[in-house]
Every structure is written in C-alpha cells, then in structure tokens.
Amino acid sequence: MNLTRILLPLILGLAAITPAHAADRTRIQAILISASNEPGQTDSRLSAYEPTLRRILRFESYRFLGQGSVTLSDQAQGHISLGEGQELELTNEDSGGRGVRLRVIWLKGGRPLMETGLSLHSGVPAVLGGPGTGKGDDVYAVIVIGR
C-alpha cells in the first residue's frame, strides 16, 4: 500500500511529461538523387516524389543514390550522411509553431556547397537542387522530409 502511494504519482507524472517531450522532436529524412535529362525510367523508390521532382527540377529521369535520417530536438543540430560524399548539417530553428524550420548546410567531402533555410510541413517534401554529379549534365538533388 505504501509503495503504491509512492509509485502511482511518479508513474502518472512521467506519463504526463513524456508526450510533451516527444512532441518537441522532429524526424528529418533526406534522400540523395541524381537528376538527368536522359530519357529513362525514374527509380521506383522515388515514385511518390516524381511529380514534385518534375515540377521543381524539370528533368527527364531521377535515380535514387542514398538516404539517411536524424531526429532533432528543438533548436538542436544533426548530421545526415547520404552517400557519394554528400552530407547535410541541420539545425532545428524556432518556427513559431508553424511546421519545422531548418538551417541546412549541404557538404561534399566536408566542404560546404550550399547553405539555405527550409520551412517544412509534416510529410511534405522539399527539394534542394545541387551541383553536377560529374556524369554528363546530371545533377545531385536532395529531397528533405520532416515528420
């Protein structure tokens, strides 16, 4: 009985704190792709994003190259390695309660290629166009999704 009086308030207190703390965390997924003007089939792993890619980048086909994710707390920093020497440094900024606001630094081999800000809404992809891949006119791009 005595133990129940001690543990019950503790358990109820933890249950009340945990959901609020979890809400302060955002999972960021990033997908590295190459975009090409060569006719061809778009990688099936990108089919959900193809209409967005075509609208923003206006290339003929898209190839999946790598992906990664990170979970960020409020105003925390994180790192995603995407493959092919491509990386993202992310800082979760205050969005005033309107989605997720990120400061993104795109790196290749540890050297910055681009720095930008992104405002994300849960599940809605943002696309960053990047440098050439070194294979013809193909370019790198990154799809960024916050959840």
How does pLDDT run across 26-36, given as a tens digit for each residue? 899 999 999 99
90 located within any domain: yes
| 98 confidence band (pLDDT: 50, 70, 90) | confident
- pLDDT at residue 78 greater than cutoff 70: yes
**10 has a pLDDT exceeding 50:** no
What mean pLDDT is reported for the chain?
A: 86
Backbone φ, ψ for residue 74 (5° rounding): -55, 130
Domain hosting 93: range is 24-146
**Domain membership flag for residue 44:** yes
Q: How many domains does the chain have?
A: 1
Q: How far apart are CA 67 and CA 87, in angstroms?
A: 10
Q: Judge contact between 129 and 34, C-beta under 8 A.
A: no
DSSP H helices in 2-144:
2-23, 50-56
Asked whether residue 39 is domain-assigned, the answer is: yes
In a domain, 58, yes or no: yes
Residue 59 lies in a domain: yes
Distance (Å, whole) CA 139 – CA 144: 16
Instruction: Quote the pTM value.
Output: 0.81
Res. 5 pLDDT band, cuts 50 70 90 = low
Residue 73 lies in a domain: yes
